[in-house]
Amino acid sequence: GDSVTQMEGPVTLSEEAFLTINCTYTATGYPSLFWYVQYPGEGLQLLLKATKADDKGSNKGFEATYRKETTSFHLEKGSVQVSDSAVYFCALHLRGSSNTGKLIFGQGTTLQVKP
């Protein structure tokens, strides 16, 4: 079935370190891909998205490129801050005849950034 797999956390980094959170997917169709972020005590909010192969989504210094050949959508940031500490979710949506907007999520990766 369709699924999303993320690297296990927690990921602990020092401030200004480089961040990569791996995400791979399995899909029967041609999905749109998303990264959502959940700050402590809050709901999820969209961080970035990409809707077709080779698209790069970017926001707040985070980037992810839709790689169809490797079925991946890895999240990167060049220099993390303490305020980036959160849980990050990779998700996909399958396009097709039953478009309902429902998302399939990975298990989430907790990022802790230390000063």
Partner 1 sequence: NAGVTQTPKFRILKIGQSMTLQCTQDMNHNYMYWYRQDPGMGLKLIYYSVGAGITDKGEVPNGYNVSRSTTEDFPLRLELAAPSQTSVYFCASSKGQDGSTEAFFGQGTRLTVV
Q: In the complex, which residues of this chain contact partner 1 (CB under 8 A)?
A: 4, 32, 36, 41-46, 49, 51, 89, 93-95, 99-103, 105-108
Shortest CB 96 distance to partner 1, Å? 9
Shortest CB 104 distance to partner 1, Å? 8
Which residues does residue 33 pair with via DSSP β-bridges, in sequence order? 50, 92
Residue 17 or 112 having the CB closest to partner 1? 112
Tell me which residue has tokens 């959940």: 38
Residue 50 or 80 having the CB closest to partner 1? 50
Gap between the Cα atoms of 66 and 115, Å rounded? 31
Look at strands 11-14 and 109-114 and give their pairing. Answer: parallel
Shortest CB 108 distance to partner 1, Å? 6
| Phi, psi angles (nearest 5°) of residue 20 | -135, 130
Under DSSP, the state recorded for 17 is: -
Residue 1 or 115 having the CB closest to partner 1? 1
